[in-house]
Amino acid sequence: MSGSVGWNPWHGCTKISSGCRHCYVYRRDEMVGVTASSSLCRKTKAFDLPVRRTRDGQWRIEPGKTVFTCFTSDFLLTDADDWRPACWDMIRRRPDCRFLFFTKRIDRLAECLPADWGDGYENVTIGCTVENQDRADYRLPIFLALPIRHRTIVAEPLLEALDLSPYLDERIEELDVGGESGPGARPCRYEWVLSLKEQCDEKNVPFSFHQTGARFVKDGKLYLVPRREQHKQARKAGLDTPRRTRLRPSDRVVYGQLRLEDWQNDCFKE
């Protein structure tokens, strides 16, 4: 069994850097009528999803699934410190699934790891998010120094040209790149994307162009790209290269395209 599922044990996040300015979680909460502040972290009713069983005793999340973890918050958020150990325990109990989370708080990982982490859990992939050169130069040295078995770099929202070549080597399983979506989105330029693709090719690191963003500049022309077209247009560029691990582009969860009722069911307080 393959495919993917989202797991949001908590919901809500505080903004910590420039990439957070137009956070899709805040936009989506407003759209579905969430009354609590999007910066308020609260436990969700999906908290124990990985260890739930069906009536016939089977895992509700089937073996082989990729579990996109905490995509409406940050897994390393300070506000969730009391809940995270239980999540590590659930991840440990499900070695038959691959768990993936992205974080802008990689500088907190060392203090948040479980005692038996060692060199990393085989079924956990961690993505370090960088949006500009300043955050790349701060976060990525920390990221590469930590004991992690499976790593990706996420340059999204891509806000400027980046030189990531010092951080691209055999430890990085993919560089995932995308522009910013939503009202007020800052432009993403095609030459920035191509530069990162070239850097990956030189270092033999798999590359994925995830989405154009809402304002995409190519050959000097600004394109206003509707949300439903942003992933499609990125794929049409034909820049993606194969990954070295089991996670496939077809397994990705795109929260910006979730139905409103899915967002409500997954993310509201338990």
> How far apart are alpha carbons 181 and 27 in whole angstroms?
10
Residue 259 within a domain? no
Nearby residues of 29 by Cβ (< 8 Å), 6 or more positions away: 38, 267
The DSSP element (H or E) to which 224 belongs, if any, is: strand 221-224
Nearby residues of 27 by Cβ (< 8 Å), 6 or more positions away: 182, 183
Residue 189 within a domain? yes
- pLDDT for position 31: 86
Residue 262 within a domain? no
- pLDDT for position 260: 46
pTM: 0.91
Alpha helices in 153-259 (DSSP H): 190-203, 227-236
The DSSP element (H or E) to which 6 belongs, if any, is: strand 4-7
Give how many domains the chain has, as a whole number: 1
The DSSP element (H or E) to which 128 belongs, if any, is: strand 124-129
Which mean pLDDT values do the consecutive 10-residue runs of the chain (270 residues) have? 91 97 93 91 97 97 98 98 98 98 98 98 98 98 98 98 98 98 96 98 97 97 97 97 59 45 50
Packing angle of the helix pair 260-267, 24-32 (nearest 10 deg): 100
Give the pLDDT confidence of 163-178 residue by residue, as tens digits: 999 999 999 999 999 9
Residue 269 within a domain? no
- pLDDT for position 147: 98
Task: Provide the domain limits for residue 246.
Answer: 4-251
Residue 51 within a domain? yes
Residue 266 within a domain? no
- pLDDT for position 244: 63
- pLDDT for position 252: 47
> How far apart are alpha carbons 109 and 101 in whole angstroms?
12
- pLDDT for position 238: 97
CB–CB of 140/175 below 8 Å?
no
Residue 242 within a domain? yes
Residue 230 within a domain? yes
Between strands 221-224 and 215-218, the pairing is antiparallel
